[in-house]
Structure 1
């Protein structure tokens, strides 16, 4: 991709979605330059990993090995914790809300309710 391309992010996301389309929402999630894979067990994960790596090789796309993580039981992604139990809010975010001082003014109450409404 040429340096300075104004829509580079959009074009790259479109490319990744088109390349991974056969596997999207089956065992792959693509977000910007992240590829998340999920599987029921290690054998299935190995098959999924092989399929994705072959797909990337076929399309002449390469992953930097030092930035890859394999067979991890949980991952923190977009302020959420994802594991075999499902998707949860990051515990660090919950802790900061629990430690929030009680609002005394109407504007502070509205600010807190805006956050809590998320």
Structure 2
């Protein structure tokens, strides 16, 4: 897909494996962008599943995130299980929680340093006792607080502002 749309990627096309987003800054440009994209798909024999298509929408869920004009947002369905979970009581529950948090890592600044307090618990052997203390709870609460109002990520401009 990247080869097929290489000259359109970053302009108005985004590709992830076999999924394509055609996004336009101006409504008037959208039909011509779709037409170019459809022509490219036709030329290479690509087919679309009508059940997966949405045209002319201002926001859409994509890969578990919500993409819209302002940027990329966390889907509340992904934060809800974390927000509602109780503190883990064993290593397995902690690993499950960290997996869910890790999915949202791009929305949590410096996540690895925030979660390093959990590392000794993740490395516990079977015969060792799992002890959830105040430091673990504070970190857990901080992550939940952060996810209550996660940032909207913006697409980076391809124009360099650092060039002399």
So what's the TM-score if we normalise by structure 2? 0.53
Where structure 1 has 5 or more consecutive residues not aligned to the other structure, the ranges are 1-15
1:50 and 1:35 map into 2 onto residues whose CA distance is 14
2:90 matches 1:90: no
Superimposed CA distance per residue, residues 21-79 of structure 1 (whole angstroms, 9 cap, x where no aligned partner): 11012111122321111111211211211111122223343334454221111111111
Q: RMSD in angstroms over aligned alpha carbons?
A: 2.2
2:3 matches 1:18: yes
Q: Which has the higher contact order (CA 8 A, sep 6+)?
A: 2
Q: How does 1:6-45 map to 2 (within 5 A)?
A: 16-45=1-30
Picking from 53, 57, 70, the partner of 2:42 is 57
Equivalent residue pairs, number: 102
2:55 matches 1:70: yes
1:41 and 1:68 map into 2 onto residues whose CA distance is 20
Task: Pick the structure with greater CA Rg.
Answer: 2
So what's the TM-score if we normalise by structure 1? 0.71
